[in-house]
Amino acid sequence: MNSSTVPSPAASAADDFVLQLAVDRGVLQSAQVDAARAIAAGHAESAKPAPHVLDVLAQQGAISSRQVAELLATEFGMPMAPDLSNIRVTGDALELIPRALAAKHQVVPLSRESGKLRLAIADPLDTDGLDALGYTVKMPLEPVVATPEEITAAIDRFYGKDANSIDELLNDLSGTGADASAVTTEANAAADVSNTEADAPIIKLVHQIILEAIQRRASDIHIEPLEKRFRVRYRIDGVLLEVENPPKRLQLSIISRLKIMANISIAEKRIPQDGRIQIGMNGKQLDLRVSSLPTAHGESIVMRILDKEGLQLGLPELGFLSDDAATFEKLITLPDGILLVTGPTGSGKTTTLYGCLHFINKPDRKIITVEDPVEYQLNGINQVPVRHDVGMTFASALRAMLRQAPNIIMVGEIRDLETAEIAINASLTGHMVFSTLHTNDAPGAVTRLIDIGVKPFLVSTSLRAIMAQRLVRKICLKCKRSYTPDARELRALNINPAQAAHATFAKGDGCADCNSTGYRARMGIFEIFVVNEEVQRMIYENVGTAKLREKARSLGMRTMREDGARKVTAGLTTIEEVVSITVGDAS
């Protein structure tokens, strides 16, 4: 639709109502309307489709969509909607009106308060549509008026630009023709899932779910069978967002299709299974790591979306500020020793290690990794997958790797004493070893290694540094604005008035680019514990974590909360985000 075109609110009668209203209010002159009618009538006599009179006037610049919306709002005693490009919409409001219904009636739910649904509408004359919506949501409506263009853009922003295709596919599947195939047994689906014409809507629906997740920058797709519904959620910037749910009756067919795509057995539903899906999008290859888990109401499928381009990041893109980047570059280019990256699951440890490998991957160095599983396939690096079924454990793979004469070794995770001892012995014989460990902070990794049975003298002589990390959401650049935090917020991160005076505090208002969250993408906050001779002596003497932490702080180690505070004052993230992620790091 041309941006200068004002869509008719409903039909010719509605046009006449708006035109008369515009003349009565002095927005248009009668002569302008008569001339526009003549042009429209002239088109009607030709072979071309006749435009609406309002469209003709809009093309002439005599009236705009905004003016039409304001006329209707005044006439019906309704307020104008706020700027929909900057407003945030609550999830519980969006759940009340599906995308298909919002597009059909040209409305956008804004908020649900005091038992009422506030929604932006394009056409106050469509009383039948409003009545139908009121009946659907079973609560009073509180309409505000917006232009049709604003409504259309808001629908795309809040529901996703391609979500309508999912709705259409669900509508296709709701017909009687597709219903019979939708509830076929898994055996029948396996027989010819890709060639049966009746199964095509299921295939398209599954592909569209994956495509929409990628377009919305999701890192995971969660497909979960519940007792009475079949839920689909995307994890975007670390936060789960529920999207349009397929009907419960399609559960078996959708799960079967995904298992076939992942090359895992659809006949086996009693044990967990893992697989991989490879797809091409926009000229690049994406891998989806698929995990199937039996639950009380069916198999739950989680797909991790792996984008190789996300690994080719420099240290600043990972979240390192210049001083930490310089320190870390020195550490990862050491000739031998162990460097550990610690944190809980989902804290970005693997991405950081791959970033390290990308940084040091040169033709004169042989790099071998052992991983469970191999998440990303990297050029120029030998990657070994763990396979417990044939006895290829971390420990056995490490032993074999040492006979390959590598310069650099990456162990996906140190889980037991055997793996730890082999990794330490490798570091003591001239290899640089990177690995991960599940601990809450950096000094705690020393205690963890000793707890699993590694001798303190081995830990002290092999360990070069430990880095703990978490991920925080970055403020969206499109809707970023400066603001002044209050004293309570500053106290939460121990930011003193002198620091605050030179800081650049910011927040995101929410826009189409960030799904109205105010955040887009994530970065790391770090705690780098460098092991020097003094610390080595303390580890050898097997001192506790508290004393190690105290010594690390005296040597200049910043905690993750302090690193987060630096990124808050630089306007990269928010106080709320850092406080929520580092709730256990208040010291």
Q: Six-digit token pair at 457?
A: 């003298």
Q: Which long-range contacts link 478-484 to residues 24+ away (Cβ below 8 Å)?
A: 478/511, 478/512, 478/513, 478/514, 478/520, 479/86, 479/508, 479/509, 479/510, 479/511, 479/513, 479/514, 479/518, 480/506, 480/507, 480/508, 480/571, 481/506, 481/507, 481/508, 481/509, 482/506, 482/571, 483/507
Handedness of CA 154, 157, 160, 165 (dihedral sign): positive
CB 574 within 8 Å of CB 475: yes
Distance CA 431, CA 413 (A): 17
CB 191 within 8 Å of CB 267: no
Q: What is the pLDDT along the chain (587 residues), one digit of tens a residue?
A: 444 444 444 444 567 778 888 888 787 788 887 887 777 776 655 555 556 777 778 777 778 888 888 888 888 888 988 878 767 676 667 778 877 788 888 898 888 877 888 889 988 888 888 888 888 888 888 899 998 888 888 887 777 654 445 555 555 555 433 333 333 333 343 434 344 444 578 888 898 899 888 888 899 999 999 998 999 999 998 889 888 888 888 899 999 999 999 999 988 899 999 998 988 765 667 789 999 999 999 999 999 988 766 555 667 788 899 899 999 999 999 999 999 999 998 888 988 988 888 889 888 999 999 988 787 777 889 999 888 878 888 889 888 998 999 999 999 889 899 999 999 999 999 999 999 999 989 999 999 999 999 999 999 999 999 999 999 999 999 899 998 998 888 988 989 888 888 899 999 988 877 878 889 889 999 999 999 999 999 999 999 999 999 999 999 999 999 999 999 999 999 999 999 888 656 55
**Residues making up the chain, counted from first to last:** 587
Map tokens 């908020």 to a residue. Answer: 111
Handedness of CA 256, 262, 266, 268 (dihedral sign): negative
CB 197 within 8 Å of CB 225: no
Q: Quickly count: other Cβ atoms within 10 Å of residue 208's Cβ.
A: 18
Q: Residues 195, 197, 199, 204: what is their CA dihedral angle, to the nearest 10 degrees?
A: 90
Map tokens 């040597």 to a residue. Answer: 555
CB 242 within 8 Å of CB 250: no
Q: How far is CA 224 from CA 204, 250, 280, 294, 363, in A?
A: 19, 12, 25, 10, 45
Q: Return the biggest CA–CA distance within the chain.
A: 98
CB 148 within 8 Å of CB 170: no
Q: Six-digit token pair at 239?
A: 């936060």
